[in-house]
Each structure stands twice: as C-alpha cells, then as structure tokens.
Structure 1
Amino acid sequence: MEVIKLTRKHNKLKRKKWGIIVASIGAGIIITFIIPVWGWIMAVGAGLIYGGWCLINNSHDD
C-alpha cells in the first residue's frame, strides 16, 4: 500500500515539474517574440505622432 502512495506522489511531482517547464518555455517565447514586436509598434507610433506634431507646428498657414 505504501508503494502505491509513493508512486502516485512521485507522478504528481513529475507532472508538476513538467508543467513548470512548459510554462517557462511559453513565457520565454512570449518575452522573446511578442513583447519586442509590441515595443516596435509603440516606437513607430510615437515616431508618427512626433512627426505629425512637427508638421503641424512648422506649417505656415498665413
């Protein structure tokens, strides 16, 4: 009876370890690919806003 409990506990710990490994890989993929893409999108958006601001300020509508 004790052997069965030990085996079940071992399987539960093994499953938990695999879950942590898979979650870490998923988080790594998100940090590596998705966040930099959003950073570039925000940088381009900020550049467009700045460029538009400069055009508005420098336009002479006399």
Structure 2
Amino acid sequence: MAARTGRDGLLLALLALLALLIVYDLVRPDSWLRSAGDDRSVPMERIIRDVRDELPRSRPR
C-alpha cells in the first residue's frame, strides 16, 4: 500500500509541475502556447501560394 501512495504522490507532483509550467508559459510575453496559431509573421503572399499549391489541379476535358 505504501508503494501505491508513493506512486500517487509522484504522479500528483508531476501533474502539479506540468500545470505550473503551462501557467508560467501563458504569463510570459513570448508564450509559445498563445502564439501557436498566429500567422501574422508569415507574409500573405506566401500563405496564398502555399494554399494554391495544395489545391488539386483540374484536369482538362
């Protein structure tokens, strides 16, 4: 039983550390979690070109 409580305590400590790291990253000004979907640094022309390259080509009839 002591091994289970020790393992549970370790798991709880790791989860608390993970939560602290996430909160710390969200507070930082250069947070990678908040900027994950931010495309403002990529020029619009490049985005349009990338999307156009991904579209299937229509075959002539």
Query: Which band: TM-score by shorter chain?
Result: 0.3 to 0.5
Give the TM-score, by structure 2 length: 0.48
**Larger of the two Rg values belongs to structure:** 1
Query: Which structure is richer in relative contact order (CA contacts within 8 A, separation 6 or more)?
Result: 2
Give the TM-score, by structure 1 length: 0.47
Greater helix content = 1
